[in-house]
Structure 1
């Protein structure tokens, strides 16, 4: 894993195909508990049902095949507490998703993570727009995206809303 960026309380590492076995083993061992029912309730179905290390390893392989996966670790210890997933397409618009282990909800980490991602990391990439999908019932994520300056796109589905944030060289999280 390679350090992509950091915040006051988080280090964000991009999971690379050449990650060492110890790092991968640690992540695979915590993924089943990180992807508990409450955490994946508002996420795509592919995030559900990861209950053991074998399923976690397969899930991680699948994610890495279609996305750039970033592992979130607190600065004070090395235990992974969440993921940031960025669509691995070649388009100017990239889809992002994020999750935190339930024990880390309500502490402002998602805001801290995405603020730094938007202001410090995303402008260094060849991306023009960030796109985030969120279930209508996920009020916390909707508020977070709006606080960060994402705007809702019209024409969303009954269950899913879509938000976009155009990036400029001077993009700063609000």
Structure 2
């Protein structure tokens, strides 16, 4: 498990998800609309009950951390950080639909990369996307990720970052 994370970008506040936060289950169910979930793992589109959300949280938090993103106090999305090996992370994001097209995915991922790179001289980041998700591909390319391989119908991109 990663240490608690807190950082800010120009427009976002990011902090490790507090699983005891009042209203968290409803917040997650409201965020993962069909439109938001369409390019995400199948279980992200099936968050209809509190039990669904609990199981979804269990699966992700057993692998790593979830970082809650807010803008002006409102939920803007989540970042996902899964350590793979020493100085290697699988990362991802989901942005709430009202915030699409505003550059917040790129900004959030830049902040996360900067935060995780701060404590290691060299870090490798891995991100997987649905090949038809052009918007996420553009975000990764803007961040400097390069295509690495396709596996199980997911395109994987890699970024080598240093302090």
- TM-score for the superposition, normalised by structure 1: 0.82
Counterpart CA distance in 2 for 1:125 and 1:57 is 31
Counterpart CA distance in 2 for 1:134 and 1:20 is 26
**1:97 offset after TM fit, Å?**
0.9
* Aligned structure 1 segments of 4 or more residues deviating by more than 6 angstroms: none
Counterpart CA distance in 2 for 1:152 and 1:6 is 28
Q: Which residue in 2 is equivalent to 1:8?
A: 10
The number of residues matched between the two structures is: 159
- Residue 143 of structure 1: which of 138, 145, 148 is its match? 138
Counterpart CA distance in 2 for 1:13 and 1:137 is 30
Q: SS in structure 2 opposite 1:130? A: strand
Q: Which residue in 1 is equivalent to 2:33?
A: 36
Q: Which residue in 2 is equivalent to 1:55?
A: 52
Q: How does 1:47-126 map to 2 (within 5 A)?
A: 47-74=44-71, 76-77=72-73, 79-118=74-113, 120-126=114-120
- TM-score for the superposition, normalised by structure 2: 0.87
Q: Does the aligned pair in 1 maintain the 2:131–2:155 contact within 8 Å?
A: yes
Q: For structure 2, list consecutive stretches of 5 or more residues without a partner in the other structure.
A: none
Counterpart CA distance in 2 for 1:20 and 1:66 is 15
Counterpart CA distance in 2 for 1:158 and 1:55 is 24
- Residue 164 of structure 1: which of 133, 158, 161 is its match? 158
Bigger strand fraction? 2
Counterpart CA distance in 2 for 1:125 and 1:87 is 16
